[in-house]
């Protein structure tokens, strides 16, 4: 039986997201600032024998679109969508560690390298972070330079800044209400 990879789009205030999924979960989120053609090229490269099927009504697609909308509105901090993460063992270790960065917080590439047990792997961590197929859910935008600078992001530095500002404003609002 031929594997199927499903896709849909999600229009947001930031622009159009492209979303890919398999039977196991979300496998790709393509940010609005990226070329749509590269989304389909990635799917074909990762799933060369699969049929690509547009399915806007698929449960996984409805859920992730709802979650992205809630996240971008400042109403959601943790995603519950199932994921189908594709990458090398090293990349998966990096992405798993990146996934532990709390909403509204940041970590440096060095912090991630140390956490995975290789303080000398900062550049490799940066490369893995840049290849994250599921940004926002695996929050690679929360990884910054050791000096606090905003460095590389697939969606562009402006989008990274906007996502971090969104999370900070939600976190600050929550702290004000907690006091």
Q: Which residues are catalytic?
A: 140
All structural domains of the chain, each given as residue ranges with its CATH number in brackets, are 4-73 (3.30.160.70), 89-177 (1.10.10.10)
| Alpha carbons 174 and 157: distance in angstroms, whole number | 26
Q: Which residue has the higher pLDDT, 153 or 81?
A: 81
Please report the pLDDT score of residue 176 as a whole number: 56
- Average pLDDT across the chain, whole number: 93
Report in angstroms the alpha-carbon separations of 146 from 29, 143, 151. 27, 9, 10
> What integer is the mean pLDDT of 43-67?
96
Q: Residue 32: name the closest of 46, 48, 16 by CA.
A: 16
pTM: 0.91
């Amino acid at each position: 039986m031929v594997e199927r990879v499903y896709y849909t789009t999600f229009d947001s205030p930031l622009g159009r997201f492209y979303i890919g999924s398999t039977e196991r979960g979300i496998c790709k989120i393509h940010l609005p600032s990226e070329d749509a053609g590269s989304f389909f090229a990635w799917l074909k490269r990762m799933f060369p024998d699969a049929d690509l099927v547009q399915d806007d009504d698929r449960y996984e697609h409805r859920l992730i679109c709802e979650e992205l909308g809630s996240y971008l509105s400042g109403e959601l901090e943790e995603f519950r969508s199932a994921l189908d993460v594709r990458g090398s063992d090293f990349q998966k270790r990096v992405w798993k560690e990146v996934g532990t960065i709390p909403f509204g917080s940041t970590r440096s590439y060095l912090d991630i390298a140390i956490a995975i047990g290789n303080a000398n792997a900062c550049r490799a961590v940066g490369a893995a972070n840049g290849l994250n197929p599921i940004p926002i859910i695996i929050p690679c935008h929360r990884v910054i330079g050791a000096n606090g600078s905003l460095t590389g992001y697939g969606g562009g530095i402006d989008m990274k800044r906007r996502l971090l500002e969104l999370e900070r404003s939600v976190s600050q609002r929550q702290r004000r209400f907690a006091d």
